[in-house]
Amino acid sequence: MRLAYLDPPFNTGEQFHHYDDRRSSDEWAQVLRDRLKVIKPLLASDGSLWLHLDDREQHHGRLVLDEVFGRGAFVSTIIWQKRTSRDNRRAFSPSHDYIHVYSPMGESWKHVRNGLPNEGALSNPDNDPRGGWRSVPLSVQAGHGVSSQFYEIESPTGRLVSPPRGRCWAYSSQRMAQLEREGRIYWTRGGDGTPRLKRFVEELKPLAPSTIWASDDVGDNASAKRELMADVGVGEIFATPKPVKLLRRIIEIATDVDDLVLDPYLGSGSTAIAASELDRRWFGIEASAVTVSEVTVPRLLANGVAFSSP
């Protein structure tokens, strides 16, 4: 198993139609501990576990994760903007959830995870036949520079250009001349400004995921409920669905095609829908038979998700 995504009850103290969310903190932590101990030996050595919680128990959840997986397994905590409207009933209006990411590889997991697409803001102002490109600086911090990186470049207008103060050129003069011959250098201000390197789309490295995920990018609670209502518009609505876009991003970062994804709190089925769309195998567990019959199965069928049940 390459990915386990856990969205357990948050211990809100409420009684929902599909589940009871009222436990003592100790009992809540023990249930989570037991679940994590079962999952741990099933997780691949290069896999990851993502635990989704809110303010009520996230600090206890982090402690249980440290206990079961070890502190060295911590990778990061993601802040997800779960709502954009304001709730004036509390001292502070809650706008975010926490998603704690752990891996047996710890920080080294960055070498196997997938980055985010880096294809935005491409243009082609000089009509380069190679297609759209993005310019990046040709200078770097001078602290580790060598003598061959300090020199002047002649601009197309004949002006001699030195690297900015405190910086040096990223390449030697020989390499810079080669880039110029290849049409890889873009001069700002019509040839009288600063040289920049043209990067084409196939050369752009994927972006490291940020720890703050905005609702505009991955959806929020309101959009998740709209999705669910569109799929299963009858009966009592499941109270706490998560957006398919949120799960899609998690799965894209943490897995590759045909990898196995586990969701031990399947609920409304968002994980299964996202995994199916991305050609991942998935396995879901849902303790509530009412949730399965009223929400999960109808929604998977509405989205054309193939599945079998024991």
Residue 128: inside a domain: no
Residue 150: inside a domain: yes
- Summarize pLDDT for 263-292 with one digit per residue, the tens: 999 999 999 999 999 999 999 999 999 999
Largest CA distance in the chain: 77
What kind and span of H or E run contains 262?
Answer: strand 260-263
Q: 117 or 191: which carries more pLDDT confidence? A: 191
Residue 310: inside a domain: no
- Summarize pLDDT for 147-186 with one digit per residue, the tens: 999 999 999 999 999 999 999 999 999 999 999 999 999 9
User: Mean pLDDT score of the chain, rounded to an integer?
Assistant: 94
- Summarize pLDDT for 190-241 with one digit per residue, the tens: 899 999 999 998 888 888 999 999 999 999 999 999 999 999 986 677 889 9
Domain span at residue 295 reads: 3-116+207-302
Res. 144 pLDDT band, cuts 50 70 90: confident
Q: What is the mean pLDDT of residues 55-74?
A: 97
Same domain, 109 and 57: yes
- CB 251 within 8 Å of CB 279: no
Residue 242: inside a domain: yes
Pick the closest to residue 137 from 204, 205, 197, 199 (CA basis): 197
- CB 263 within 8 Å of CB 284: yes
CATH code of the domain containing 88: 3.40.50.150
Q: What percent of the chain has pLDDT over 90?
A: 82
Q: How far apart are CA 207 and CA 252, in angstroms?
A: 13
- The length of the chain is 310
Write the DSSP symbol of residue 110.
G
- Summarize pLDDT for 288-305 with one digit per residue, the tens: 999 999 999 999 999 999
Residue 307: inside a domain: no
Q: DSSP labels for 153-211? A: EE-TTS-EEPPPTTEEESS-HHHHHHHHHTT-EEESGGGTS-EEEEEEGGGPPPBPPPS
Same domain, 82 and 14: yes
Q: What is the mean pLDDT of residues 117-146?
A: 89
Q: Which two tokens stand for residue 72?
A: 């060295």
Q: How far apart are CA 70 and CA 102, in angstroms?
A: 9
Q: Domain boundary at 161, 188, 203, which?
A: 203
Q: What is the mean pLDDT of residues 94-119?
A: 94
Q: Which two tokens stand for residue 99?
A: 């998603």
Res. 21 pLDDT band, cuts 50 70 90: confident
Quote the number of domains for the chain: 2
Residue 246: inside a domain: yes
Same domain, 259 and 192: no
Res. 309 pLDDT band, cuts 50 70 90: confident
| pLDDT value, residue 234 | 67
Same domain, 137 and 171: yes
Q: What percent of the chain has pLDDT over 70?
A: 99
